[in-house]
Amino acid sequence: MTHTAEGDAATSVSSTRRGLLGASLAGAALSLVAGRATSASTGERVNAADLELLLFAQSLELAARDLYAAAITAGTDDPLFGFLADQHEAYAQGIASFIGEPANARDDAVYDELEASFTAFDRTSVATAGYDLESAAVATHTELLALLENADGAKVIASMLAMEARHCVVLADMSGRGDDLNVLLVNTADPILPEELS
């Protein structure tokens, strides 16, 4: 992410995720799930480490969905924000269908950190917050590709990443920065990753 506040957000996420992922009970549950998650395309089994990564990506997508929904609830009712909420819901469901687990665990740390910037009551501010969030999502998913061993899981993430990169361009234009080629074309955001993975 580009701004200091967002850098702090990444730190905040790290500590929260560490606590979650460090729990042995959760680890055991993930292992059980990993035992039955199998790629539909290649039949390649999704191992426990990959499953952890995909569940993390899913929780980030649900946080993004809820942030756009919060903007609409707060009164910034642009159809584009509703559309972006739907996009992220679809990504969470896409991962859910791949791993065979429901999409129901939002990353609260990310949501809590960014909620204020999405409920600013004006379209430009929300578009700017959305641009930063989408940029971080692209950076995060790019990083996940280097960690995921399952090729089909990587394909799912890549197909989300591709559109999130395009979301950035739309939001750059919506936030009045459509003439700035660096904002349009360059992603300077840092990934949001659990500390164990960063």
Partner 1 sequence: MSAAEPRATFDRRQLLRTGGLTLSLGAIIAACGEDRAGGTDPGRVGEAPSVTPLPEGTVDDIVLLRTAQSLEHSAIDAYAAARGLDVLSAHQDAIAQRFVDDHTGHSVALGGFITDAGGEEFACANPWVTRRVITPIFDAIDDSDDPLRDVLNVAHALESLAAASYQSLVGSLTVPDLRMKIMQIGADENRHAAALAIAITGAPDGYVSPLLLGETAPEEEPEFPALWAVPSTFGMVSAVELVVGAPNEEGQRFSIDLQTPAANTFVYADQSC
Chain residues binding partner 1 by CB under 8 A are 79-80, 83, 86-87, 90-91, 94, 138, 141-143, 145-149, 151-152, 154-155, 158-163, 165-170, 173-174, 178, 181, 184-185, 187
Question: Which tokens belong to 181?
Answer: 């080629």
Name 76's bridge partners: none
Q: How far is the CB of 194 from partner 1 (least distance, A)?
A: 17
Question: Which tokens belong to 2?
Answer: 């580009």
Nearer to partner 1, 25 or 146 (CB): 146
Q: How far is the CB of 61 from partner 1 (least distance, A)?
A: 12
Name 38's bridge partners: 45
Nearer to partner 1, 48 or 184 (CB): 184
Q: How far is the CB of 177 from partner 1 (least distance, A)?
A: 12
Q: How many Cα atoms are found within 13 Å in the side-chain-facing hemisphere of 165?
A: 14
Nearer to partner 1, 9 or 138 (CB): 138
Per the CB < 8 A criterion, the answer to whether 51 and 26 are in contact is no
Q: How many CB atoms lie within 10 A of CB 64?
A: 30
Question: Which tokens belong to 85?
Answer: 């909420």
Nearer to partner 1, 148 or 192 (CB): 148
